[in-house]
Amino acid sequence: MNQVLLIDDDAELVGMFTEYLEQEGFRVGCAYDGETGAREATSGRYAIVVLDVMMPRLNGIETLRRIRACSHVPVLMLTGRGDDADRILGLELGADDYVTKPCTPRELTARVRAILRRTNAPRDEGGAITLAVGKLTMLPEQRRATWDGKLLELTSTEFNLLEILARNAGRTVSKNELSEQGLGRPLARFDRNIDVHLSSLRHKLGTLSDGRSCLQTVYRQGYQLIRE
């Protein structure tokens, strides 16, 4: 499934991105306002959504809220340079990653590929693998995770990051490792993407028997999923 939905009120920009994505083998759908975009994004026809933050009437943040209310489709946000507040809010609401405008079609396409590569990564052929760490159970082939038997509602990127931590349970994983393996790109300077995703994960995961979060920050080193 390689269909991309572009949601942006800038018709010229959408046209340029569409042309490049199609040359790279993607099928592209377009929406020029948030309401239409939210309906299309939750239709089940798209592998990924590229969503602009700055749109009239229903902006990108509110559009993302509507999408996340009923869909876990990967969402790549387009944000203005310096829009840190919108960028962080978008990540907190469940965006998978962001690209800062202006950006080139090549950069956008590379970021789309990186997200889809992790989301659709081929699994081992030796049968279904189950990752179990304490009360956490993950089924990577099914993209499914539970805590104490209850299903966790995770975005694509949250699942990727949690899987990396589960495979390295008990060991500190650096933010750069998490970015490269979970997002498909090196960690940029001052990039808070990983921190925001891990904060969201911490709220979704349960606690250990002593009340601590099972997901711990290791100062200046990274994050660790604790075995219990």
Domains and CATH numbers, the chain: 3-119 (3.40.50.2300), 131-225 (1.10.10.10)
Residue 36 makes CB contacts below 8 A (sequence gap 6+) with 7
State yes or no: pLDDT of 128 exceeds 80.
Answer: no
For residue 121, what pLDDT band results from cuts at 50, 70 and 90?
Answer: low
| Single-letter residue type at 61 | I
Strand-strand pairing, 215-218 and 222-225: antiparallel
Q: What is the pLDDT of residue 206?
A: 83
Lowest mean pLDDT among 30-34, 144-148, 184-188, 195-199: 184-188
Q: Is 55 helix (H, G, I), strand (E, B) or coil?
A: coil
State yes or no: pLDDT of 167 exceeds 80.
Answer: yes
The Cα-based distances of 121 to 111, 115, 140, 193, 216 in angstroms read: 15, 10, 10, 21, 27
For residue 122, what pLDDT band results from cuts at 50, 70 and 90?
Answer: low
Residues 137, 144: Cα–Cα separation, whole Å:
8
Residue 209 makes CB contacts below 8 A (sequence gap 6+) with 228
**Predicted confidence (pLDDT) per residue in 91-108, tens digit:** 999 999 999 988 999 999
For residue 123, what pLDDT band results from cuts at 50, 70 and 90?
Answer: low
Torsion angle of C-alpha atoms 218, 91, 212, 170, degrees rounded to 10? -50
Q: Would you give the distance in Å from CA 21 to the centre of its chain?
A: 20
State yes or no: pLDDT of 124 exceeds 60.
Answer: no
* Sole residue written with tokens 């990274």: 222
Residues 199, 12: Cα–Cα separation, whole Å:
36
Q: Is pTM beyond 0.95 here? A: no
Average pLDDT over every residue of 76-92: 87
Q: Quickly count: other Cβ atoms within 10 Å of residue 84's Cβ.
A: 11
- Specify whether the CB–CB gap between 225 and 133 falls below 8 A: yes
Q: What is the pLDDT of residue 61?
A: 95
Average pLDDT over every residue of 52-73: 93
Detail the DSSP E strand segments found in the chain: 3-7, 27-31, 48-52, 75-80, 97-101, 131-133, 136-139, 144-147, 150-151, 215-218, 222-225
Cis peptide before 105 (omega within 30 of 0): no
* Most confidently predicted of 119-128, 140-149, 185-194: 140-149
In the structure encoding, which two tokens stand for residue 88, read together? Answer: 């962080």
Q: Quickly count: other Cβ atoms within 10 Å of residue 111's Cβ.
A: 21
State yes or no: pLDDT of 1 exceeds 70.
Answer: no
Q: Would you give the distance in Å from CA 31 to the centre of its chain?
A: 21
